[in-house]
Amino acid sequence: MKITCYLSPACGSEEELKTNIDSALAAENISAEVSTQRINNEKAAELGLSGSPTILIDGKELQPSAGTGFS
């Protein structure tokens, strides 16, 4: 499993996000490659992301929404 997290430069949830992902993986006894990237709004819109943080699991957005970008 591959988990990719995208955050805006100003997003303050990175540490909590990492803790929650680690806890969930441990609770389910699952291993995963986890990466976190900070990107700007333009890159977020280009990728079709819908908020910060955005979490992709094996390339699929965990909680998709209609908008794009971090604003």
pLDDT per residue over 41-70, tens digit each? 999 999 988 889 999 999 998 876 666 667
Distance CA 38, CA 9 (A): 6
pLDDT, residue 68, reads 66
Taking the CA atoms of 14, 55, 47 and 35 in sequence, report the sign of the dihedral they define. positive
Model confidence, pTM: 0.86
3-state secondary structure at position 13: coil
Please say if the pLDDT value at position 38 is more than 80. yes
Distance CA 58, CA 70 (A): 21
Instruction: Say if residues 68 and 44 touch (Cβ distance below 8 Å).
Output: yes
